[in-house]
Amino acid sequence: MNDVAERVKGLAARDPFVTLLGAQCVEAGPGMAVVRMTVGEQHMNFNGTCHGGVIFSLADTAFGLASNSHGRLAAAIDAHIGFTAPARAGESLTASARELNRSNRIGTYRVDVRRDDDGLVAAFTGTVYITGREHS
Domain harbouring 118, CATH code: 3.10.129.10
Nearest of 115, 91, 94 to residue 35 by alpha carbon: 94
Tens of each residue's pLDDT in the chain, 136 residues: 579 999 999 999 999 999 999 999 999 999 999 999 999 999 999 999 999 999 999 999 999 999 999 999 999 999 999 999 999 999 999 999 999 999 999 999 999 999 999 999 999 999 999 998 988 6
- Total domain count for the chain? 1
- What's the CA gap between 30 and 5, in Å, rounded? 8
Nearest of 43, 120, 28, 131 to residue 88 by alpha carbon: 43
At 50 the pLDDT is: 98
At 52 the pLDDT is: 98
Q: Which domain holds residue 21?
A: 3-134
With 0-12 CB in 10 A as exposed, 13-18 as middle and 19+ as buried, what is 41? Answer: exposed
Coil, strand or helix at 84: coil
pTM (global) more than 0.75: yes
The strand ranges marked E within 2-90 are 24-29, 32-38, 72-83
**DSSP secondary structure letter of residue 57:** H
Nearest of 129, 132, 8, 18 to residue 76 by alpha carbon: 129
At 1 the pLDDT is: 56
